[in-house]
Structure 1
Amino acid sequence: MTDTAPPPFPYRLTRLGVVRAPDPDEPLEAEGVLNPGSGRGPDGELYLLPRLVAAGNVSRVGLARVVVDDGVPVGVEREGVVLAPDRGWERGATHSGVEDPRVTRVDELGLHVMTYVAYGPLGPRTAVAVSDDLREWRRLGPVTFDYVDDLDTDLGLFHNKDTTFFPSPVTAPDGVRSFAVLHRPMWHIGATVPGEGSPLPAGVTDGRHSIWISYVPVDAVAADERALARWGQHRPVAGPEFPFEELKIGGGPPPRRVPEGWLLLHHGVTGVIDDVFAQQQNVNYAAGGMILDADDPSRVVTRSAVPLLEAETADERDGIVPNVVFPTAIEEVDGVPFVFYGMADSKIGVARLDRA
């Protein structure tokens, strides 16, 4: 943890309220509606793709059209389920789920690219799906990680969450034009295989969950879109640094290009993790921000020393997991960017993103 705070962060968030709460008469929403992806459909309408949680913590991905009043998102109209845990690798004997989608519009591909958590037999794994219209999704399968000998490990051994693609190509470390993707490896193999502990990659000295970046060559995707699920050239980007991130951090919405570089909103966590697979009751999630270098997004230019948004309202403090602000989507309405975020693992809120 650093003793020197960076300069004031150039962006701020202003909460505006709840845009979606669970329908008490809908069994698929019995344990919350939260953490949405987002995108514009072929009809030009703005849609959210929320995580819908049924009894037993079984998650699906839904679709809902955003209702806008006077330029501000104020609600949604539900349009059903677009992804369910109906593949064998998305469910286990006692659990299942497709969770926490992040959706990036990649214009170069003419596709929406979704990363999501498949909660399968061995726990949470990152997976990729693509769509032309936000309604029909083609699974590309669970992510595989190229072996990098310098890391002295296989990233495929570890659970992984909080993944999201950049919207446009960047130059990878090897100089190749590539799609970059952020992710958050979780080193606790012992949670799945008792006795194995938390082995760290070579060069990693802090075992707290941190943000990493990997790359996919553009030419490989042009030849076969399934390459979007084969990631390489892995390296760390940022770890916990400030008090509101003391326990761990993870990436939020797809990075947004701004004059300073790439704006990445993230979550920072404090508190105590009781069980890595349980719905936590003793943690606090807050939203922070980073600016990543425009040309080398593995490099952090600056970051917020204090939260941009933290759990303060009843909707953010009371729910399935109390005290949670969890940003997962950014979209513009009439040129104004809005951030959609999970509230206490129960509802979806919206905040306006402004320059500070």
Structure 2
Amino acid sequence: MQDTFLNRQALYLRPDPARVIVRPFKPATEPRDLNPTDRQRANHIVDRMLALDSEAAASLLADVLENFLGRHRNLLETFEARADEMEEALAAHGTFSKVQRQLIGAYFLNEYSFEASALFNPSIVPHPDQSGAPKGGLRFILSLRAVGEGHVSSLTFRAGSVTSDGSLEVDPTARLASSPRIKARTPGSIGDNVEVIFKPEEDISERVIFPVTESQSNGIEDARFVEFNDLGRKTYYATYTAYSGRAIRSELMETSDFLSFRMTPLQGAAAHNKGMALFPRKISGKYAMIARQDNENLYLIYSDDLYRWDGGQAILKPEFPWEFVQIGNCGSPIELDEGWLLFTHGVGPVRKYSIGAALLDKNDPLKVLARSREPLLRPEPSEREGYVPNVVYTCGAMKHNDHIILPYAVSDTFSNFATVKISTLLATMKS
């Protein structure tokens, strides 16, 4: 095996079907739902509930709370918020008591096991709050793609720490999970710009960003987070794939604290594909992106506008047998003294995914200084089975002292970590 110099950890992050969020159940309750049969069904549900006397309604609500209260935060508040969303549809039914409104909210919600199938394709960045970090180490945030019923992807998080020598620890996962509140929604020429916000008391591992726009309706996929430094101001950006069930496009997520997130569709020809990764700073005064517009090769693109990406020049093409089908990036480039370290994935025979790397010139990333001729990481025999067999994949690594921390997914099912000394990694790459 070529990846024996990597130190694979035993920090397996596996999907947990017991973790659930509540999502709107929509038998045509919103004004845009025009199917007369479904609207009639929704009205029937409301009418049946209103036919209950006050004592029966109160008893029913108490029973619902007894069954579900320990599974979610602020459940009554969630019920009322759902009823507020349905205000226009409920107007025809007259006035409601508080108990009736809360029951209406309960009837038009359902639990969703957001990571029932998979927890994979991680990326890692330094935590914005370094309090409690080990001496000589740091705190980090890990983003993960979670997949539940219907192959719908959402974004979830974990926190952890790395010591000065590269030893890793992941914080315990919270039992509860929560969706954010939509703070603002602004229509745009190619789709909505949306800002969502979580409550500060919700642990980072509770926070789940579920699709909230039509373009994302079947998934927020493969977020590539990067800590972006613009003249000392640090912002966390993530490029991700929005999937509607029919079409894909690249969008950009922005946060400074992992509590409030803004999601914006990207414009330009390069944004019509997936797998874009932003450099962690401007180069010669311009934003820079690694992208793959043609499903085969990797391109370098510059832009004056963070939200528009066109053109680009091919810098890496399939060259070795383990990447003959296609290559792509595995997260944002990492700045080293020696140049930009770019992790890549290659697809070989029987659609086997492996991870490699390239070193780009720091001042002119069009120049490829070195490249791995053999995979750095590929599926072990024990890691071949899963939702998508024969795949190892990452959406972003992190430099810490003289180590690279590389979280990676196994067979699109669960995630793990590997670490490697930078000097050892560079020594394996050929000019």
TM-score, normalised to structure 2's length? 0.62
Tell me, yes or no, if structure 1 residue 293 matches structure 2 residue 361. Answer: yes
| Paired positions, count | 286
Deviations 1:260-292 (A, max 9, x none): 211101110113xxxxxxxxxx42110101011
Cα 1:236–1:334 change in 2 (3 A) is closer
Find the partner of 1:61 among 131, 135, 155: 155
Provide the residue aligned with 2:239 in structure 1: 115
SS state at 1:169 partner: coil
Q: Which residue of 235, 248, 269 corresponds with 2:326?
A: 248
Counterpart CA distance in 2 for 1:335 and 1:87 is 41
From 383, 386, 391, give the equivalent of 1:319: 386
Matched, 1:210 2:297: yes
Check whether the contact 1:90–1:119 (CA below 8 A) recurs between aligned residues: yes
Please give the secondary structure, in 2, of the residue aligned with 1:162: coil
Counterparts in 2 of 1:72-83, with a 5 A limit? Answer: 72-78=167-173, 79-83=205-209
CA distance in 1, matches of 2:289, 2:209: 21
State the distance in 2 between where 1:17 and 1:242 align: 30
Q: Does 1:144 align with 2:267?
A: yes
Deviation string 1:203-231 (CA, Å, 9 cap, x unpaired) is xxxxxx111121222xxxxxxxxx32212
In structure 2, what is the Cα distance between the partners aligned to 1:43 and 1:155?
34
Question: Contact between 1:262 and 1:294, CA under 8 Å: does it hold in 2?
Answer: yes
SS in structure 1 of the partner of residue 315 of structure 2: strand
Report the counterpart of residue 179 of structure 1 in structure 2.
287
What corresponds to 1:98 in structure 2? 220
Inter-CA distance 37–331: structure 2 relative to 1 (3 Å threshold): same
Give the whole-Å Cα distance in 2 for the aligned partners of 1:215 and 1:297: 11
| 1:168-317 matches, cutoff 5 A | 168-171=281-284, 177-186=285-294, 209-217=296-304, 227-271=305-349, 282-314=350-382, 316-317=383-384
Aligned to 2:90: none
Residue 290 to residue 333, structure 1, CA distance change in 2 (3 Å): closer
Considering Cα pairs closer than 8 Å and 6+ residues apart, tell me whether 1 or 2 has the greater RCO: 1
- When normalised by structure 1's length, the TM-score is 0.74
**Higher share of residues assigned helix:** 2
| Partner Cα distance (1:334, 1:299) in 2 | 25
Q: Let me know the Cα RMSD of the aligned residues.
A: 2.3
Distance 1:15 1:123 in 2: 36
Q: How does 1:5-84 map to 2 (within 5 A)?
A: 13-26=6-19, 27-44=113-130, 45-66=139-160, 71-78=166-173, 79-84=205-210
SS of the residue corresponding to residue 244 of structure 1 reads helix
The 1:262–1:338 alpha-carbon spacing in structure 2 relative to 1, beyond 3 Å, is: same
Question: For the residues of structure 2 that align with 1:317 and 1:268, how far apart are their CA atoms?
Answer: 16
Q: Name the CA distance, whole Å, in 1 between partners of 2:10 and 2:398.
A: 16
Single out whichever of 21-30 and 57-66 deviates more from structure 2: 21-30
Moved more, 32-41 or 284-293: 32-41
Alpha-carbon deviations, 1:78-102, whole Å to 9, x = none?
Answer: 31234221111112xxxx0000000
Structure 2's unaligned 5+ residue stretches are: 20-112, 131-138, 174-204, 425-431
Match of residue 186 from structure 2 = none
What's the offset of the Cα at 1:12?
A: 5.7
8 A Cα contact 2:160 2:168, kept in partner = yes
Instruction: Tell me, in whole angstroms, the C-alpha distance in 2 between the residues paired with 1:100 and 1:49.
Output: 9
**Structure 2 residue identity aligned to 1:228:** L
Aligned partners of 2:11 and 2:384: how far apart in 1? 13
Is 1:135–2:203 an aligned residue pair? Answer: no
Q: Render the CA deviation track for 1:92-142: whole Å, top value 9, x for unaligned.
A: xxxx0000000111121421011000002542211101101123211122x
Cα deviations by residue, 1:161-212 (Å, 9 ceiling, x for unpaired): 22111111113xxxxx11111112246xxxxxxxxxxxxxxxxxxxxx1111
Alpha carbons 1:19, 1:74 under 8 Å: kept = no
How far residue 335 of structure 1 moved from its aligned partner, in angstroms, is 5.5
* Distance in 2 (alpha carbons) for counterparts of 1:64 and 1:136: 16
Q: Structure 2: how far apart are the matches of 1:118 and 1:13?
A: 32
CA contact (8 A) 1:82 1:135 kept: no
> Could you say if the C-alpha distance between residues 181 and 253 of structure 1 is closer, same or farther in structure 2, counting changes exceeding 3 Å?
same
Q: Is the Cα–Cα contact under 8 Å of residues 346 and 353 in structure 2 kept in the other structure?
A: yes
Where does the alignment leave 5 or more consecutive residues of structure 1 unmatched? 1-8, 146-153, 172-176, 188-208, 218-226, 272-281
Deviations 1:144-176 (A, max 9, x none): 12xxxxxxxx546xx4122111111113xxxxx
Q: Is the 8 A contact 2:270 2:310 kept in 1?
A: no
Supply the distance in 2 between the matched residues of 1:39 and 1:155 (Cα, whole angstroms).
25
CA contact (8 A) 2:334 2:399 kept: no
- What is the CA-CA distance between 1:342 and the residue it aligns to? 1.1
Larger Rg: 2
Instruction: Give, in whole Å, the separation in 1 of the partners of 2:365 and 2:355.
Output: 20
